[in-house]
Amino acid sequence: MEEAIKTAIPSSADGMSRIDGRAKVTGKAKYAAEYRPDGLAYGVLAGSTIAKGTVTAIDIARAEKAPGVLAVVTHFNSPKVPGHQKPKKPTKKAGPILVFNDNVIHYNGQPIAMVIADTYERALYAASLVKATYNKQAHDTKPPSDISMGIAPWGKDSVRGEADAWKNAPFKLEQEYVIPTEVHNPMELHAIIAKWDGADKLTVWDKTQGTQATRDDIAKAFNIPAANVQVIAKFVGGAFGSALQVWPHEIAAILGAKLVRRPVKLVLHRQDMFTSVGHRPYTWQKVGIGATADGKLVGITHEAVGQTSTYEDFAEGPINVSKGLYACPNVTTRYKLLSLNIGTPTWMRGPGEATGAFALESALDELSYQVKIDPVQLRLINYAKVDPENGKPYSSKYLDEAYKMGADQIGWENRRQEAGAVKKDGWLVGYGMGGGMFGAYRDSATVKAVMRADGTLLLQTAVTDIGPGTGTAMVLIAADIMGLPADKIKFEMGDSSLPNAPMQGGSATTATVGGAVYDACTELKQKFQKLIGNGGTDNPDYAKILSDKNLAGLDVTTQSSLGADAQNKYSMQAWSVHFTRVLVHPATGVVKIDKVVSVADSGKVISQKTARSQLIGGAIGGIGMALMEDAIIDHRYGRYVNNNFADYHVPVNADIPQMEALFVNKPDSHINAMGAKGMAEISLIGMAAAVANAVFNATGKRVRDLPITPDKLI
Amino acid sequence: MENEKFGMDARQQTDLKDPSRRSFIKQSSLLTAVALTPATALKAAEDHLDEQIAGVLEKLPLRMEVNGEMHNLSVEPRATLLDILREEMDLTGTKKGCDHGQCGACTVHVDGQRVNSCLTLGIMVNGKKVTTIEGLAKGDVLHPMQEAFLKHDGFQCGYCTPGQIMSAVACINEGHANSEGEIREYMSGNICRCGAYPNIVNAIMDVKNGGMEA
């Protein structure tokens, strides 16, 4: 390997602290369920106890008589949601759950009733008194296990070059890989407070990744003008994709508030988080891969069948990674969906790619042992210099540097290309790596920038921050352009009434909203330069200029997006590579993550401290995916049996070592003026394979069905 | 009988198990006991005053010190300390993450010990001192642990943070912060889904090495 690139490893203390950090450490940050409109009532949902069938009756008499109960809503007595009554386009499936609209049960735990009472305790108790009777039908919750199952959402196979060409390669393998159902499980429970301010006017405090998308969906459902709906999400306690759409409980709370003429707060219980706000779908995959003796890929065939619900199709792209990660002339992909009696899956951090990268990056590792080529070297041999799908140049790509940085930092030279070769203090030691990619997207956003008389800058846009530190990054961008200290800049967000911004999703926020902040600040500064005249100055004294010109303030509102030219010309992607060292106990099968080095090639880093946290946070999500996360259904009842944090394991502090985050930190000059690409998805994508590959390197046991629990290693 | 100390007689205890109790109260002598005429009683029932009476009967006094201030409350015995803090007292810094004692987001100090407030009924802390995240800073001066969490970015979304910080303070006070490994073990009752664990460990080590004022 060439000489490694030396880069300082950022520590947790480096960089500017979060602008909203003080609110978060003092408990002053207010999340969706933490507002107190006058007359607040509490809603609690009751869910179905069967997975398929119809509700024949619901006994609400006892619940209605319970103290403090204001209303018990079911499909028998619910006022209709106007938007739910419109005739739908004829499709094979029923479409999203229209809460309290009909008697059909699609999955176990589907909301069938809501009790509203004057206190939470009273609502909770009364909800336990609601009893439903059903006409039960045979359900199916058994996940996919073969490509023959399900239907292809996009029609026929995708073939680049020759179909199934891997079969003709001198070195080849074909294996099946399984990702179980993973649940986002953000720490904040999904919650909403709905308050009607008039017959057609509504305020909601909601856990959402997009205030305006939520506003529009609610307005449509209740057939009221979008301008009359205000959605507030000042702080969002994580989401990872679970808050990208309006779910039935949100509609239920709004409906309930209308019915009882009081604001209604509805907070899901942890068990509802498994059924009612999406999940990463259980996905069966098969990868066939072949190479020449010198490691050149001949072909990849990647098949995947993901689960979806019986009433909606949720499709993602687990097979995409095989089309784009390596320069391989022949790639065949097949993707299908299997309909089951479960709630509809949704996007979860690294949607599709995280699932696909586990399979592809595991398969590549398996191939490396066959051809006896170091896994990093094997990737460099097949390095894609242009997008293999369309031949377009990349807007920027330094993944090869990322490989070298990571390998150097983990001590890759200590790895042996032979499983079970390294031991330390009675533990087996293994090294593994896995990488990933995700589209670097930039949407359109509008930012209002206001310079106020006191020389402080106010930036406004409707975007939310589910945790990455959006406000902090935006302030740093503005500070750089305006020549202001960060503490003179306020970033106002999380309110649908602010200027347009898209949902926080798809790793696009920094590129999108950051691009708009950049443009708005640039424009505002130019306005000041004009006021100054004579070409302006480098560091204007904004307060003095406003005072001299007798102005109360100066503002611009700027809309910004990626030009079509750049989009057509370049393939825009962000890349990551994760390196792990694991210790496996030979007798107990316990896996200890000993060292992790994650490297992101995501353009220029805007905010060092929060970027580092995001990268290690995503990698920790990948450790959960690799070693513990698995939402298990008892197929006799079609019901999750581990729907809580004691039984659905996620990483805790004791599972995680010091994590090292490295950044290539080279700007992408095409995506936006800052050169920044998104990082949220790539932080996780590839990590599960990095762990699985290290476990194989330590033990010689290849686990292809996640999670890698000790029983699979002994 | 155990319930006697809460001033409940056997009949009331039976009533609590009877879901039709509200109807019972409507017809019972309890309304006349508060000297309402039958006509007024009927009106009272229509106005949901019966529920207000039921509410009073179902409640018990709770006297607790929260963040240095004494509070006299009247709470339902089934109300958790977590819900009392959040819903009754508007102290929403203490978070609800699972309601089952499995995530630690609701961690507060009761007489200096860290507890899951979701597993603690309000009436269990009668006469005790409760400290929540809102009571940790001295005015505008942050507690060293809050400063350290800021400095080391011991969070992303911030939802588990109050619980992490309350737990971290107790972790040091208990003498369980002598190494990174020990901190990891004794901080494992607080889940952070964003994955800020290494930063949390760094923050606690920083405070520990700086000699925290308890």
Chain B residues whose CB is inside 8 A of the A594 CB are none
Q: A121 and B161 in contact by Cβ < 8 A?
A: no
Q: Are residues B203 and B155 in the same domain?
A: yes
The CB density around residue A244, as the number of other CB atoms within 10 Å, is 23
pLDDT value of residue B1: 34
Nearest chain A CA: its distance from B70 CA (Å): 20
Q: A27 and B94 in contact by Cβ < 8 A?
A: yes
Nearest to A12 among B100, B142, B198 (CB): B198
Rounded to 5 degrees, φ, ψ at A293 are: -65, -25
Residue B64 counted as domain residue: no
Per-residue pLDDT tens digits for A553-583: 999 999 999 888 888 999 999 999 999 999 9
Q: Evaluate whether A208 touches A253 at the Cβ level (below 8 Å).
A: no
Chain B residues whose CB is inside 8 A of the A466 CB are 157
Nearest chain B CA: its distance from A449 CA (Å): 25
Strand A553-560 versus strand A633-634 pairing type: unpaired
User: Which amino acid does the sequence have at A225?
Assistant: P
Chain A residues whose CB is inside 8 A of the B165 CB are 25
Q: How far apart are CA A216 and CA A251, in angstroms?
A: 13
Q: Cβ contacts of residue B201 below 8 Å, gap of 6+?
A: A653, A658, B180, B183, B184, B187
Does position A92 have pLDDT exceeding 90, yes or no? no
Chain A residues whose CB is inside 8 A of the B56 CB are none
Chain A residues whose CB is inside 8 A of the B100 CB are 270, 644-646
Q: A187 and B149 in contact by Cβ < 8 A?
A: no
Q: Which residues of A186-311 form beta strands (DSSP E)?
A: 191-198, 201-206, 229-232, 264-267, 283-291, 297-309
Q: Hunting for tokens 């320069």 — which residue is that? A: A327
Chain A residues whose CB is inside 8 A of the B92 CB are 27, 30-31, 33-34
Q: How many inter-chain contacts (A to B, CB under 8 Å) are there? A: 211
Q: A187 and B103 in contact by Cβ < 8 A?
A: yes
pLDDT value of residue B35: 46
- Which residue, among A696, A699, A713, has the nearest Cα to A175 in the 3D structure? A696
Q: Locate the chain A residue with the closest alpha carbon to B93.
A: A27
Instruction: Grade residue A378 by pLDDT with cuts at 50, 70 and 90.
Output: very high
Q: Which of A316, A353, A660, A681 is catalytic?
A: A681
Q: Cβ contacts of residue B101 below 8 Å, gap of 6+?
A: B116, B118, B119
Nearest to A653 among B22, B95, B197 (CB): B197
Residue B202 counted as domain residue: yes
DSSP per position, A608-633: HHHHHHHHHHHHHHHHHHHHT----E
Question: What's the rounded mean pLDDT across residues A91-108?
Answer: 92
Nearest to B19 among A65, A119, A235 (CB): A65
Per-residue pLDDT tens digits for A311-336: 999 999 999 999 999 999 999 999 99
Residue B87 counted as domain residue: yes
Q: A186 and B95 in contact by Cβ < 8 A?
A: no
Strand (E) or helix (H) holding A368: helix A353-371
First to last CA, chain B: 42
Residue B73 counted as domain residue: no
- Residue A68 to residues A25, A603, B27, B54, Cα–Cα distance (Å): 36, 56, 17, 9
What are B198's two structure tokens?
A: 């290494």
Q: B100 and A11 in contact by Cβ < 8 A?
A: no
Per-residue pLDDT tens digits for A505-550: 999 999 999 999 999 999 999 999 999 988 788 889 999 999 999 9
Q: Are residues B17 and B38 in the same domain?
A: yes
Q: Locate the chain A residue with the closest alpha carbon to B80.
A: A121
Residue B65 counted as domain residue: no
pLDDT value of residue B43: 57
Strand A427-439 versus strand A573-584 pairing type: antiparallel
Q: Evaluate whether A434 touches A686 at the Cβ level (below 8 Å).
A: yes
Question: What domains does chain A contain, in order, with CATH numbers?
Answer: 32-138+186-269 (3.30.365.10), 158-181+279-440+569-712 (3.30.365.10), 445-561 (3.30.365.10)
Residue B72 counted as domain residue: no
Q: B95 and A66 in contact by Cβ < 8 A?
A: no
Per-residue pLDDT tens digits for A222-246: 999 999 999 999 999 999 999 999 9
Nearest chain A CA: its distance from B199 CA (Å): 6
Q: A25 and B192 in contact by Cβ < 8 A?
A: no
Q: Locate the chain A residue with the closest alpha carbon to B156.
A: A467
Nearest to B195 among A11, A469, A651 (CB): A651
Q: Evaluate whether A93 touches A312 at the Cβ level (below 8 Å).
A: yes
pLDDT value of residue A641: 98
Strand B107-110 versus strand B113-116 pairing type: antiparallel
Q: How far apart are CA A408 and CA B60, in angstroms?
A: 64
Question: Which of B16, B134, B194 should one mutate to test binding to chain A, selecting the residue with the greatest count of A CBs within 10 A?
Answer: B194
Nearest chain A CA: its distance from B147 CA (Å): 8
Nearest chain B CA: its distance from A15 CA (Å): 9
Q: A618 and B97 in contact by Cβ < 8 A?
A: no
Look up the CATH number of the domain holding residue B111. Answer: 3.10.20.30
Per-residue pLDDT tens digits for B55-83: 677 899 999 999 999 999 999 999 999 99
Nearest to B19 among A17, A62, A659 (CB): A62
Structurally, how many domains does chain B consist of?
Answer: 3
Q: Are residues B47 and B8 in the same domain?
A: yes
Q: Are residues B157 and B189 in the same domain?
A: yes
| Eight-state DSSP code of residue A455 | S
Q: Hunting for tokens 């020449």 — which residue is that? A: A292
Question: Which of A20, A187, A209, A659 should one mutate to test binding to chain B, selecting the residue with the greatest count of B CBs within 10 A?
Answer: A187
With helix as H, strand as E and coil as C, how does chain B read?
CHHHHHCCCHHHHHHHHCCCHHHHHHHCCHHHHCCCCHHHHHHHHHCCHHHHHHHHHHCEEEEEEECCEEEEEEECCCCEHHHHHHHHCCCCCCCCCCCCCCCCCCEEEECCEEEEHHHCEHHHHCCCEEECHHHCCECCECCHHHHHHHHHCCCCCCCCHHHHHHHHHHHHHCCCCCCHHHHHHHCCCCCCCCCCHHHHHHHHHHHHHCCCCC
Q: Locate the chain A residue with the closest alpha carbon to B159.
A: A237
pLDDT value of residue B146: 98
Q: How far apart are CA A269 and CA A292, in angstroms?
A: 53
Q: Are residues B53 and B98 in the same domain?
A: no
The alpha-carbon radius of gyration of chain A (Å, integer) is: 26
Q: Are residues B153 and B204 in the same domain?
A: yes
Q: Are residues B183 and B159 in the same domain?
A: yes
Q: Which of B106, B135, B164 is the last residue of a domain?
A: B135
Look up the CATH number of the domain holding residue B175. Answer: 1.10.150.120
Nearest chain A CA: its distance from B195 CA (Å): 4
Instruction: Grade residue B2 by pLDDT with cuts at 50, 70 and 90.
Output: very low
Q: A618 and B198 in contact by Cβ < 8 A?
A: no
Q: Locate the chain A residue with the closest alpha carbon to B75.
A: A121
What are A702's two structure tokens?
A: 């290849």
Q: A21 and B153 in contact by Cβ < 8 A?
A: yes
Question: What's the rounded mean pLDDT across residues A669-696?
Answer: 96
Using left for φ > 0, alpha for ψ between -120 and 50, and beta otherwise, residue A698 falls in alpha
Q: Which of B71, B103, B135 is the last residue of a domain?
A: B135
Enter the pTM of the model.
Answer: 0.94
Instruction: Look at chain A and count its residues.
Output: 714
pLDDT value of residue A234: 98
Q: B201 and A28 in contact by Cβ < 8 A?
A: no
- Which residue, among A99, A53, A94, has the nearest Cα to A272 in the 3D structure? A99
Residue B69 counted as domain residue: no
Using left for φ > 0, alpha for ψ between -120 and 50, and beta otherwise, residue A138 falls in beta
- Which residue segment(s) compose the domain that B25 sits in? 2-58
Q: Are residues B47 and B96 in the same domain?
A: no
Q: Evaluate whether A353 touches A437 at the Cβ level (below 8 Å).
A: yes
pLDDT value of residue A10: 87
Q: B184 and A656 in contact by Cβ < 8 A?
A: yes
Does position A310 have pLDDT exceeding 90, yes or no? yes
Nearest to B79 among A121, A236, A267 (CB): A121
Residue B67 counted as domain residue: no
Using left for φ > 0, alpha for ψ between -120 and 50, and beta otherwise, residue A290 falls in beta
Q: Are residues B83 and B119 in the same domain?
A: yes
Q: How far apart are CA A479 and CA A388, in angstroms?
A: 39
Question: What's the rounded mean pLDDT across residues A701-714?
Answer: 97
- Is residue A316 among the annotated active site residues? no
Q: Evaluate whether A503 touches A474 at the Cβ level (below 8 Å).
A: no
Strand A330-340 versus strand A422-424 pairing type: unpaired
Instruction: Name the 3-class secondary structure at A5.
Output: coil
